[in-house]
Structure 1
């Protein structure tokens, strides 16, 4: 597939049914228009790319616009949908579940909606989890709570067994809410479904509190995460200033990417150091972290440090690689490590008071804030529109602030990370006053 077809969205076949949505096809009538298959959005908005396309006479790389289609692949009243939530918890999961159910039921008249309990385990009969019926009445209030109404789990299940379960229950479309591992799993389900020539649409809705899904603007729950973390940082600052040479260390989630830590520091600009997985730093030496921290204390008599869970892993000697059920490397506790090393460094030099705070599981279990609630509902609606049109193996997402469909295979090629030469990280450094490098 050439680069211009990089974002091609697969379809189960030609549309056969008319949409029950009473939308328009005319501009200017003040009614929302159906999205046409020819509606595309340019991916790279840079002048450099624009000039390149002009000079080469090439069409720009485009994404498929999300939204309701006039012609559908599935007959609304005879469609069965399933929803599964996998991986770690994240604010907004229940909002997405609710949005999917409401859109399926009220927009399209889908009568049978199945909830898959405890992640992909729920698609393996050997695990003994019973599928549950989802209705608007059951899910109408779940958006007020964090966690997931359906339960979750980590780890893969046999793809063939899971597809058997979907077929045995006559499922026409599966909505999988999850991060990198979940999306890779749902793509594998789509591949198996294609091999069987079955007509089941599989759709991913990107969920990761770390905001590390590639290509997309943002994953839901991320904004709530640093929103919830902000008052914790504020209080940690109060704790630090309340003691002579007071130091507060706050560890936030961020296994491979430091977006939560960096964004929280910008949102609550009392942070003096942000340590993230993308940066290498040393503890020792004249330019090392401990010496820079010492200079900070000499001037201001307090310091607030925000560290992402995946930061500084290179500092652990004789580290053994251990992976969790999702295949992610389990990191050493950088927060406890920093506390110990700081105490050791200042022992005999000057008195310090160190407070270590790890609010990670409180943050990820919080209900979505207003902004994320809006985002979750809109993602759910776009996912349903795409599935009803017979599109498959895609994620509903936002790119360049527009809602689009992106192939799952594209967003799972690599993790999104903070660019250390980018303006966002520069803003963090300007806010904290920390050096460009430590060590």
Structure 2
């Protein structure tokens, strides 16, 4: 008999626990597995030998994982040194753990690769993709992104209705996504007709030009009155610096100032137009109400695939999704060599960004739409007037 260990790394998502569910349920199918351990609080939990046995959890409790946001077993951003991997290898041996699954983004896949090297052939290690930022290379998309995209579509759609109701100001909505603009881009799917908000989309992949931005805001405000702008938290200047200067920076950890607040103030000061900013923040990755049904189902599949891989003798791989078709939407389950996704960051490709840099293309919208799980809500709109002869005035 041998044991399996599952750990979460990095920020949680609305479906990270669905992947946990998939991995646990798959592992329970293998009679040679005695304990299905979860590391409590990720890599730190492994080093501290803080484990809980999910094989003992009743199935009705495990099913709650499918709609539980955050991480039910905790996660961490623990910085690991070479000696930590050697220590982990000894801890795994001590607890008869021959199979390890890490759920996370490209940083966690880096951990997977180093742990596999430290353990050699004694332990089988695989990764389960997870990130709201959708910045893991090679694969089509990662579980976690679809729900985050669905959340921002709902936010922008509802804020746009408010702005249309009283069209007198500029509303700046700041999304998560420091280097990759996938979440910001998804806001385009809030549109139902030509001319609908968002009116401007600013991605971190496109250098910010203050003069062009203010000119576009002025033009739109003169035309519409109310303007909705969606910006990435990591919006950058041409020299690579963030538009909102960072408040703290150390290694890979960086805390930027609120770019939404910065731009709202810029509009007020430079254009004398009323502006305000909105920042949903971590709600965008924790909102179970916005969980995409497609995202949840794919998260379960990725957890099960990774568990099946290690338990059948494969190691040094990450479960992944590769798109076969968009209409109808079909994604194939694949295993990717871990070396191809260790700290490799995937940004928005040029074909998904509009020529003027203030929007996304139809190609992006077609690619993203199936991941939301359902179409945005339709709203009533009677904000037009007619004269007594029934002629529409505007």
Q: Corresponding residue for 1:329?
A: 254
Aligned counterparts, 1:222-241, within 5 A: 222-241=145-164
Could you report, residue by residue, the CA deviation over 1:128-184 in whole angstroms, capped at 9, with x for unpaired residues? x62111135142322221011101111223211222211111101111001111110
1:148 paired with 2:75, answer no
Query: SS of the counterpart of 2:122?
Result: coil
CA distance in 1, matches of 2:98, 2:156: 46
Contact 2:261 2:276 in 1 (8 A): no
Q: Corresponding residue for 2:203?
A: 276
Contact 1:226 1:264 in 2 (8 A): yes
CA separation of 1:425 and 1:392: change in aligned 2, threshold 3 A: farther
Aligned counterparts, 1:421-436, within 5 A: 422-423=351-352, 425=354, 428-429=359-360
1:115 paired with 2:38, answer yes
Q: Corresponding residue for 1:294?
A: 218
Contact 2:202 2:231 in 1 (8 A): yes
Q: Corresponding residue for 2:101?
A: 175
Query: How many aligned residue pairs are there?
Result: 339
Contact 2:246 2:254 in 1 (8 A): no
What's the RMSD between the two structures over aligned residues? 2.3
CA shift for structure 1 position 311: 1.1
Structure 1 gap ranges (5+):
1-77, 432-439
CA shift for structure 1 position 264: 2.4
Aligned counterparts, 1:56-67, within 5 A: none
Query: SS of the counterpart of 2:254?
Result: coil
Q: Corresponding residue for 1:343?
A: 268
Could you report, residue by residue, the CA deviation over 1:183-208 in whole angstroms, capped at 9, with x for unpaired residues? 101111011112xxx51111111111
CA shift for structure 1 position 108: 4.9
Could you report, residue by residue, the CA deviation over 1:277-297 in whole angstroms, capped at 9, with x for unpaired residues? 10012112xxx1001110111
Query: SS of the counterpart of 1:330?
Result: strand
Contact 2:47 2:91 in 1 (8 A): yes
Q: Corresponding residue for 1:434?
A: none
Q: Corresponding residue for 1:356?
A: 277
CA distance in 2, matches of 1:251, 1:278: 15
CA distance in 1, matches of 2:119, 2:307: 19
CA distance in 2, matches of 1:162, 1:111: 20
CA separation of 1:415 and 1:356: change in aligned 2, threshold 3 A: same
CA separation of 1:430 and 1:256: change in aligned 2, threshold 3 A: closer
Q: Corresponding residue for 1:70?
A: none
TM-score of the two chains, using structure 2 as the length reference: 0.80
Query: SS of the counterpart of 2:255?
Result: coil
Contact 1:419 1:425 in 2 (8 A): no
CA separation of 1:380 and 1:108: change in aligned 2, threshold 3 A: farther
CA distance in 2, matches of 1:301, 1:280: 26
Could you report, residue by residue, the CA deviation over 1:64-104 in whole angstroms, capped at 9, with x for unpaired residues? xxxxxxxxxxxxxx221000011111121110111111111
Q: Corresponding residue for 1:406?
A: 336
Aligned counterparts, 1:121-140, within 5 A: 121-125=44-48, 130-135=50-55, 136-137=57-58, 138-140=61-63
CA separation of 1:254 and 1:189: change in aligned 2, threshold 3 A: same
Range that drifts further, 332-341 or 233-242: 233-242
Compare CA radii of gyration and give the structure with the larger one: 1
CA distance in 1, matches of 2:301, 2:165: 44
CA shift for structure 1 position 256: 0.9
CA distance in 2, matches of 1:96, 1:263: 23
Contact 1:246 1:353 in 2 (8 A): yes
CA separation of 1:289 and 1:221: change in aligned 2, threshold 3 A: same
Contact 1:312 1:334 in 2 (8 A): no
CA distance in 1, matches of 2:178, 2:167: 32
CA distance in 1, matches of 2:244, 2:295: 41
CA shift for structure 1 position 361: 0.9
CA distance in 2, matches of 1:89, 1:275: 25
TM-score of the two chains, using structure 1 as the length reference: 0.72
